[in-house]
Chain A
Amino acid sequence: MKEPVQKEYPRQLEGEKVPMVRFRDVTKRYGDLVVLDSLDLDVDEGEMVTIIGPSGSGKTTVLRMLMALEKINSGIIYVDGQPMTHMPKNGALTWADEKYLRRQRTNIGMCFQHFNLFPHMTALENCIEAPIQVLVLNKKAAVERAEGLLDMVGMLEKAGEHPSRLSGGQQQRVAIARALAMRPKVLLFDEVTSALDPEVIGEVTQVIRKLVNKHNLTMLMVTHQMGFAREISDRVCFFYDGKIEEQGPPEEIFGAPQSERTQQFLGAVLEAT
């Protein structure tokens, strides 16, 4: 990414309620393909926002941009009032460098469709690795924290097992514990149940439900499970062509969608299930 002439972006105003996540005018292109088209999206602290939409609509891209796994082409993303994609330099905002990104990423945790646990480490080691290496926690504190989280996701008994010995659902629960071990402010779920066998989806959604009910964590979830999205979300965003086509409380989106595209999509999805 070149250092382009950067538009002036307003800093967060004093007294204004600061959203936990703020996308402003964010565009992401792969060549000529526009994946995110001038996206504006605010997520409040403690809010659970679910992103739904047809494949290729840019929903996973939203999470990947927020996690800074890839760079955006233009616009800016704030997390907890601080710029994520940009950093302050000489009184202006320039594109964030790797070091700045690394610090900002600690605010965000991410769970992947294919879990991506480290296969050469046990469940416990997966959960203590980054806290020790990145947060420089001592081993005892990291183990304590990890054991608490593994207990919370119901995986404490399997703490000593390697991922290859765990089922998909179990791996995903460990992955959630691993992300939480960094104490993120925002947690991202990228189709976390899509690669699971139907009979184990419940154990993962149960953990997410628990997080929503008991913790004041801000969460963004991309999912194909409409029933779960309807039950758990504070807000549902329907993505189409890199834009938010329609958003609102789940009862509205699922009960009385306004946009024709939303109606079509939900019609097709509900028919399929």
Chain B
Amino acid sequence: MTYFEFLNTYGPQLLDGAVTTALQTLLAAALAIGIAVVMGLMRLSHNRFVYGAATVYIEVFRGTSLLVQIYWIFFVLPLFGLTLEKFTAGYIAVGMNLGAYGAELVRGGILSVPRGQWEAATALSMSPAIRMRRIIFPQALLKMLPPWGNLLIELLKGTALVALISVTDLMFVARKINGTTYLSAQAFGSALIIYYVMSRSVITPFMRWLERVMTRKLGRA
């Protein structure tokens, strides 16, 4: 069987899998960004309880394996009465995990905004909320974008693990094809290429574009 014949036969399945992977990535990324912003801000709180809660979250999700977290959310939470569909469990686990990494990027980005900006906002009587939303965060965002590009690629690759709870993503499909045909090189080779294309020609250009847009918007072009 030539690779062309292989693609003819299994291409549509692989494509379906890729679509699922893309969806997992999108949903997980949205969740990760939300969690990162909330946890990152909580890490800057002077309230010990708020700070502590965020620290525990970040430590737990960064310090343990993503695969174990996926299993926990899919297999263990039902024992506590919370049953999630495998697709949902997949992106939630990935999003929560990468969100913990993102929280540190948010915190670092915010702290990297020069002190003078905080003081100028304070001197103009801005409340902490207005100061963060209007002055600090927009500037922090620009500094955060490059590391976020990295993180989103990590996230895309991390979604491959949801195949292990039978979400029919790209990795799942590749494994299935391998299992029935033993065409390992073609099956996993195709998966490899598709993952690479997704990160290299979707995520990276998108982040570059976002950086350019933000830079222009922030007037530093």
Contacts and interface: CB of A to CB of B under 8 A. Distances in A.
B135 A106 contact: no
A119 B123 contact: no
Interface residues of A, number: 30
Contact of B116 (A98, A114, A162): A114
Contacts of A118: 117, 120-121, 135, 139
Contact of A134 (B114, B125, B128, B218): B125
Contacts of A182: 124-125
| Minimum-distance CB pairs A-B, first 4 | A162-B219, A130-B124, A116-B120, A116-B116
Given A69-B119, A112-B120, A133-B130, A120 B125 contact: no
A163 B117 CA distance: 13
B219 A105 contact: no
Contacts of A98: 128
B219 A120 contact: yes
Contacts, number: 73
B126 A110 contact: no
Contact of A120 (B114, B120, B126, B139): B139
A103 B218 CA distance: 29
Interface in A65-120: 67, 69, 98, 102-103, 105-106, 108-110, 112, 114, 116-120
A178 B124 contact: yes
B127 A102 contact: yes
A112 B121 CA distance: 12
Indicate the member of B120, B123, B128, B219 with the most A CB atoms within 10 Å: B123
A232 interface: no
Given A120-B138, A120-B139, A130 B116 contact: no
B134 interface: yes
Nearest to B142: A120
A258 to B, nearest CB: 35
Interface of B is mostly: helix
B218 A119 contact: yes
Interface size class of chain B, counting residues whose CB lies under 8 Å from the partner chain: 20 to 34
Interface in B166-221: 217-220
A134 B217 contact: no
Given A133-B130, A164-B219, A164-B220, A106 B125 contact: yes
A110 B135 contact: no
24 contacts: A98-B128, A105-B122, A105-B124, A106-B125, A109-B123, A110-B120, A112-B116, A112-B119, A116-B119, A118-B117, A118-B120, A118-B139, A119-B139, A120-B138, A120-B142, A121-B219, A129-B124, A130-B124, A133-B130, A134-B126, A163-B219, A164-B219, A164-B220, A179-B123
